[in-house]
Structure 1
C-alpha cells in the first residue's frame, strides 16, 4: 500500500476478531518497522511491552481498562513505554555503526543536552513514543490490519501491574488485529487555514 494511502486509510477500530492471530513473522515485521521511527540522538527510548497473556489482558480490561473490548480481542496489544534515562546508558551503542568522528560528536552531545533537564528527558521520551506509535499503526494498515491507539486505562495501576521501572514513562497502548466492524465516520479535519501559520502567529 502506498504510504499516503495508508495515512488516509488508518482509522481507530474498536472491534477485533478475537480468534485471529498474527503470525510470529507478521509480528516481527510490524515491530521491526516500528523501530525505524526517529528518535532524538537516535536514543531509541522506546520499550514495548507486548501484553500477550490472556489472563493478564482480561484483568487489565476488567479492572483498569474501562471494559474496552479491544484489550482482550486484538491480535496484538502493545503498551508503549520509554526509558527517560536511555541517554545515559551506554550511549555509544546508539551510534555503533556510524563513522567514528560522527559517533564521537553525537555521543559527546548527548550528556550535556539531557543532564539536569528532567522535563526535557520526559518530553523526549513521550515524543519518541508518539513517533513509534504512528509508525506501528501505519505499518499495520499497510499490511492490511486495523489498529486502535488507547489511553483510556488507569495508568498508575497498569504501571504497577507490569512493574514499570521508575525511570520509565508510560505511554498509550496500541491494539492491532483484524477489525470486525467499520469505524465511525470520520468527524472531519479542521481547515489548514486554522492550523498553519507563516513565520509565527
Structure 2
C-alpha cells in the first residue's frame, strides 16, 4: 500500500461508508495492519484502561472458519483483514501496567481530579468490585472497545482503505471457535481492505432532528 493519503479530516468522516464488497486480490501487509491497530489503540478509554483486544484474521483458512459464524457474509473472505474487536471485562487489571511508568516518573499530576494514584486505584477497584458478569463491566467493555473500533475505521479511510463494521455474527460460536478467554466479550467485527463496489448509499437524519437542547421537556418523558 502507498503512503498514507493526506485527506482533510472532515472529508474522511464524510466519505467513510460501510463497504460490503471487497477486492479479494488486495492484501495488506502485517506492518500495515499493525499501524492501523496502533492508531485504533490511541482511542480514549475510561481511566485510560484501554478496554480492547484485537484479533486480526488474515489467513484464508481462518476466514473460512469464521464465515459460517458470520452468517456467510462474503466480506469475511474477501476483505484483506477482519479485525475482531473484543471488550475487556477485567480492564481494572490493566491499571498497574498503564500507570506504573507514570508513578515511577513522579508525574502524579497526570491524575486529573485525584490527589494521588492510590485514590484513583481504589476508585477503579470499587467500580469493578462486582463479579465478572456485572452490567458495569460489560457496559464499559463494549463502550470503550467501540471507541477503538470507530477510530480503526477512520484510520483505515485516512490511509485510502475501506471498511465495514459487522455485528451479524454468533458471538458464542466465535468465542468457542477462537478460544476467547472469559475475560473478553466480542463486540463487533471490522472488515478492512479495498472496495470492489461502492458502499450502498445511505441517508442521515438532519442535525435538527437529533439535537435536544438542554434536556427534554417534562411531557416528553411519556412514551405513549
| TM over 0.5, shorter chain | yes
Shift of 1:175: 0.5
Give, in angstroms, the shift of residue 20 of structure 1. 1.1
In structure 2, distance between residues paired with 1:172 and 1:199: 32
1:73 counterpart = 2:39 = no
Does structure 1 residue 189 correspond to structure 2 residue 194? no
SS at match of 2:87: strand
Assess if the C-alpha contact under 8 Å between 1:47 and 1:82 holds in 2.
yes
CA shift digits 1:26-78 (9 cap, x unpaired): 212101100010110001110111122211211221x2222211101111110
C-alpha RMSD of the superposition: 1.6
For 2:172, which of 133, 137, 156 is the aligned residue? 156
Within the alignment, does 1:58 sit opposite 2:64 as a pair? Answer: yes
| Residue 95 of structure 1 pairs with residue 99 of structure 2 | yes
Q: Which runs of 5+ in 2 are unaligned?
A: 1-6, 217-224
- SS for the counterpart of 1:7 is helix
Q: What pairs up with 1:126-145 in 2 under 5 angstroms?
A: 126-145=142-161
2:219 paired residue number: none
* Deviation beyond 4 Å, 4+ runs, structure 1: none
Show CA shifts across 1:126-162 (max 9, x none): 0111101110000000000000000111111111101
How many pairs align? Answer: 198
1:83, 1:58 → 2: CA distance?
26
SS of the aligned residue for 1:96 comes to helix
Q: Is structure 2 residue 129 aligned with structure 1 residue 115?
A: yes
Q: Is the 2:49–2:94 Cα contact (8 Å) retained in structure 1?
A: no
| Correspondence for 2:215 | 200
Question: Can you list the C-alpha shifts for 1:75-106, whole angstroms capped at 9, x where unaligned?
Answer: 1110011221121x251221234313537143
On the 8 A contact 1:114/1:120 being kept in 2, the answer is yes
> What is the TM-score normalised by the length of structure 1?
0.92
Please name the residue that 2:89 is paired with. 84
Match of 2:50 among 44, 52, 59: 44
Query: Under a length normalisation based on structure 2, what TM-score does the superposition of the two structures give?
Result: 0.83
